[in-house]
Amino acid sequence: PFLVRQERWSTFVSQASDERRRSEATKDSFKPSLVSGDKGKRSAHDTESQRQRMERLADPSIHIRRGKENDPTKDLDFTPQLNKVTKKIGRASGPVELVLNPRGHVARQRAIQAEEMRLRRECTFKPMINK
């Protein structure tokens, strides 16, 4: 039984490799289809013709202007009233400020100082040198 299984497996592997070689020989190159199968998820640019693509990419300022004209939110003029705390939360901050934790740093320093004070109190050995 073992030898029969091994023989079947070797024929299967050789057939698969032969088939792979044949398929690679017929194709010059592989071009994957990266388009979403769901039409709702596809971009409008996927269905445009070569001429439409040339017109769209010819002058970006025209495209931006058309986009602003067709914007459904252009008539909305709502601007929220934000309090100071919310503005501080939403403000831009640098990477150093985001990484550093000032409260945590202060707490760590206090813990280190408390440990040093405890060690000083516990250590009663104070040698007199050079007297």
Cβ–Cβ under 8 Å, residues 53 and 45:
yes
Following DSSP, what letter does each residue of 55-82 receive, concatenated? Answer: HHHH-HHHHHHHHHHT-TTTT-------
Residue 123 has pLDDT above 90, yes or no: no
> pLDDT tens digits for 45-62?
677 888 888 887 777 777
Which of 36-40, 68-72, 80-84 is least confident? 36-40
Q: Mean of the pLDDT values across residues 24-34?
A: 69
Residue 115, domain extent: 94-122
Give me the number of domains the chain comprises: 1
Question: Considering the domain boundaries, does residue 12 fall inside one?
Answer: no
104 part of a folded domain: yes
pTM, whole model, 2 decimals? 0.27
Residue 84 lies in a domain: no
Please give the distance of CA 50 from its chain centroid, rounded to a whole number: 32
What does the alpha-carbon distance between residue 55 and residue 109 come to, in Å, rounded to a whole number?
63
